[in-house]
A and B are shown apart, each in its own frame.
Chain A
Amino acid sequence: MNRRLSNTKTILWALVGVLAVLTLSRFMRGLGATTALTDLAPWGLWIAFDVMSGVALAAGGFVVAATVYIFGRQEYHRFARPAILTALLGYAAVAVGLLYDLGLPWHIWHPMVYPQHHSVLFEVAMCVMLYLTVLALEFAPVVLEHPWFDKPLFRTVHSWINRLTIPLVISGIVLSTLHQSSLGSLFLLTPYRLHELWYSPIIWVLFFVSAIALGLMMVTAESFFSSWLFKHKLRLDLMAGLGRAASIVLFLFVALRVGDVAYRGLLPSLANGSWQSNLFIFEVLLSALLPAALLLFSKVRTSGPGLGTCAAMTIFGMIGYRFDVCIVAFMRPESLPYFPSWIEVAVSMGIVAGALLIFIFFIEKFRVFKHDEGEGTTAAAVDLPGRDRFNPSTMRLLSPARLDGPRRYTMAVLLAAAVTVALLPAEALHGVQDTLTPVSPPRAVEGYAVARADTPGTDFVVLQEDEAPPDGALLQALYTIDGNRNGRVSLFPHTFHVEKLGQNQSCVRCHHLNMPEDRNSACSECHRDMYAVTDIFDHASHIEAVRGNDGCTDCHRDPEGAKGRTSALACTGCHAGMVVAGSVVRPPEKGMDGFAGGYMDAMHGLCVKCHEQVVLEGTVKVAAHFSNCATCHHELRLPGPPAVDPLLLAEARSGTAGDPGEGGL
């Protein structure tokens, strides 16, 4: 019995087990939870490998069909059935892979009812669908040969399909030509994203030619695989012919690929040492030039290792070409790179494993290979490990029972599924959850308190490396608070707060350590107005409100002093409601400049300051209504001016409340 086969099948079944779990996760939790795709990298591994490479890898079907049925090279007929089976399963895998990648896979039939014939993808979809049908019909005779189908109806169908062989083959070639090339045409729409070494007006020709070479090499590789798996004899004499053909096609590919780059005047850029240039050179060498050159030697062509190496180079190189076009050389912002998640990789592998299992099934149950390869008998015995250890004369097992075929595979599936469930990331299990914005803990830095020159107040600055400390500045302990870890920190002047709140007795006002899990108070617990809104002082409307020029002294009390914001009555002198009820921070009795600053000051200071400056410079026109609250604060769109406390206003006019020179906001 064939241990190699049953071990291979065990591994493949395990991969299918992984796929089963990931399938549930993918369809229940969505693309975001399972893939590394992003808005600027909407196509990833499933397109590059499952679809783009999958279709190209399955090109062996139409290439061999053309060779045998159209060009009449009957000596290659032995490759036809395995090649068509590979193609059929390859395209089926593409379709399955597409179901995973599509956001709404249950709409996969929509191209048939909502055709949009200006779309290259529409052409690809229709061709792939039709070609899948053609391949199924091409392969149907193999199934219908089976004794189980030896009934009149099936015999009739069989003979009809046989009569249709040539039309089927020709339509298969035409459909393949169309969609193999159109997979390249898809990228004609992306001149700005695909790097110029790959973006070519003849990218569709390149895709088609490379698919032919890849098809030939896949037939070769598939022969190697079956001969290894089923211990068949290799027909290296025939495979050498495939190698020779591949060599010619690969040279044609190199000529087109390099010729196109040369025609577009990009050859000099190949020497510039950028990673794209190096990748291009490596890719052309690996995928085409090296194997094509090696295959020129009949020694290489007719030796197993030689041919195998060339096939591997072409296959990896041409898959690489598709990956470069779809992912590597396809522009994404640097800060948003794409690297497939392990779930994407495992799904791709699981689909391939499933296709391989079906491939092995067909080889075991149907006559895919020719007689001289003796597949039927060995294959039938293959699936029964343990039987050879049974002694029929004594009715005893010769060795301890071990897991035989189906049980072993079931175990593999279940074990792999269990491991996968254990490894699933939380998102793939539960779906994408909202995460709290990460906040960096405050970090202590040393900074300086600098009194503002023109306005009351203090600025807190942290020196850059080469800066000298400002004159008369006080070294203080500051904290940087980075609200959302975006690198934009705000300074929290700790010393300043300690002094203001009453030295050592004040710690508990913020760090009230008697409360569990409470490390410190939020700023807004004292600065209650942080989230409140207020007007920007509008001088003109105040003039109107206080009877024109007669009212100047209502606010500017000191007849001798300069009229200005700092010498005017504080806003709270009239508008009592400006200090939010419950705020611990009170308007200062004397000598202080208003209540503690909040977000609104920062925000308004920023906007107004900048606008004033811009107006002075005269470079930008600023709309007149910018100082209205309601410009930004829609909820303040009230009919009248802000409420003025009549009592306070009366007091203000009689000169009993507030002192001039206290500073406004």
Chain B
Amino acid sequence: MSTRMSILTDVTLCTGCEACVEGCKKENNLGKDVPRRWKLRIDDLSSTRFTTIDHPGGNHHVRRQCRHCIEPACVSACLVGALQQTPEGAVIYDADRCMGCRYCMTSCPYGIPRYDWEAAVPYVRKCNLCHQRLIKGGVPACVEACPEKATIFGAREEMLAEAHRRIEENPGRYQGRVYGETEIGGTSVIYISDIPLDFLGFKPDLGNTPLPERSWAALSKVPPLIAGMGGLMAGVWWVVGRRMKLAEGEQHVDTPESGETAKPAPDEKETEA
């Protein structure tokens, strides 16, 4: 399977039963929840809970999980490539590479990655879209567990089409957009909802620019910066050195430094020091 896959969650169908959480915990052998001190709520995402249900009030239940961005900030942040994107669109984690800098956690616009704070050998933990199932043609455990079919799985194109179909069929019922279709370059986990889902991100309006482009704007300037700074410094050094030599030559005409062309001043200073 190499088409980009997607989870579509229809918030209007979710009853908040947490069968997805149970399915996820079973599939990933996550065990009990960690103490509360590292999280916002008792049932917040944690290193042993990759998906959870937010209750924004009223009869609304919103499943929170890794969004598996099309252009993930965490993947571009990871300096050792421990986070990588598979052809299916899953953002997966290689614990053997990770060095634990937690830049991925800082950079995620949805605040998803979690850490094994209580462990002496900690790893970054997050949903991997059940990649181990995907490669066998399966569906993620949370999708399989959902009794209401509130969260469904398929090729991203199909899921987007389904989302738009549902919105068109019942425009009064849904917010008029598919969450995750275009924000910050789009995500693989998309939502349609009757309430605004802006609370899932750190800021309401995430814009459509993929985050990696922002850091690449600075990073792409590195080679010219090396050349420019190096050239500038070498040039200044040469000009200054030559000027000093000329000035010295005027003062002591009797001590010519014919042999040394490159570095008279520093050598002299080093030996003097």
Instruction: Give the interface of A toward B (CB within 8 A).
Output: 27-33, 37-40, 42-43, 66, 68-72, 74, 77, 80-81, 101-105, 107-108, 110-111, 114-123, 125, 141, 162-163, 165-166, 169-171, 173-174, 177-178, 181-182, 185-186, 188-193, 201, 204, 331, 333, 335-336, 370, 431-432, 434-435, 484, 486, 607, 610, 614, 619-621, 623, 625-626, 631-632
Contacts and interface: CB of A to CB of B under 8 A. Distances in A.
A88 to B, nearest CB: 16
B122 A68 contact: no
Contacts of A121: 77-79, 101, 103
B242 to A, nearest CB: 10
Interface in B240-273: 240-241, 243-244, 262-263, 265-267, 269-271, 273
A40 B112 CA distance: 9
B100 A102 contact: yes
A71 to B, nearest CB: 6
Given A42-B105, A162-B271, A165-B270, A182 B226 contact: no
A177 B223 CA distance: 12
A614 B206 CA distance: 33
B176 to A, nearest CB: 17
Given A71-B236, A621-B12, 16 more contacts: A32-B116, A38-B38, A102-B99, A103-B121, A103-B124, A104-B99, A118-B219, A166-B263, A173-B230, A174-B229, A174-B230, A188-B214, A431-B118, A431-B120, A432-B117, A610-B59
B147 A632 contact: yes
A213 B214 CA distance: 27
Q: Which 3 A-B pairs have the closest CB atoms?
A: A103-B100, A32-B117, A122-B79
B241 A114 contact: no
B81 to A, nearest CB: 4
A484 B237 contact: no
Nearest to A102: B100
Contacts of B265: 69, 72, 74
A170 B237 contact: yes
A550 B270 CA distance: 111
26 contacts: A28-B120, A31-B117, A39-B114, A40-B39, A42-B105, A69-B266, A71-B240, A72-B241, A81-B273, A102-B99, A105-B100, A110-B99, A118-B212, A119-B103, A120-B77, A121-B77, A121-B103, A122-B79, A170-B237, A173-B230, A186-B103, A188-B215, A188-B217, A189-B77, A626-B15, A632-B17
Contact of A189 (B119, B120, B211): B211
Nearest to B233: A170
B39 A38 contact: yes
A171 B229 CA distance: 9
Given A120-B215, A191-B214, A336-B40, A170 B97 contact: no
B89 to A, nearest CB: 18
B267 A162 contact: yes
Nearest to A614: B59
Interface of B: 12-13, 15, 17, 19, 35, 37-40, 42, 44-47, 59, 73, 76-82, 97-103, 105-107, 109, 111, 113-124, 147-149, 173, 201-203, 206, 211-212, 214-219, 222, 225-226, 229-230, 233-234, 236-237, 240-241, 243-244, 262-263, 265-267, 269-271, 273
B61 to A, nearest CB: 12
A163 B236 contact: no
B115 A119 contact: no
A173 B77 contact: no
B38 A120 contact: no
Contacts, number: 251
A119 B74 CA distance: 9
A31 B116 CA distance: 9
A38 B38 CA distance: 4
Contacts of B19: 632
A107 B100 contact: yes
B37 A38 contact: yes
Given A72-B265, A185-B219, A434 B211 contact: no
B39 A39 contact: yes
Contacts of A170: 230, 233-234, 237
Contacts of A186: 103, 215
A39 B46 contact: yes
A39 B38 contact: yes
Nearest to B102: A42
Contacts of B106: 42-43, 189-190, 193
A620 B148 CA distance: 12
A45 B250 CA distance: 56
A107 B99 contact: yes
B237 A141 contact: no
A182 B218 contact: yes
B215 A189 contact: yes
Given A173-B229, A178-B225, A201-B217, A116 B81 contact: yes
Contacts of A29: 120
A421 to B, nearest CB: 18
A178 B236 contact: no
A163 B267 contact: yes
Given A110-B80, A119-B79, A141 B211 contact: no
A515 to B, nearest CB: 30
Contact of A111 (B80, B111, B211): B80
A170 B238 CA distance: 12
A185 B73 CA distance: 14
Given A39-B115, A173-B233, A103 B107 contact: no
B122 A31 contact: yes
Given A39-B38, A103-B123, A119-B78, A193 B230 contact: no
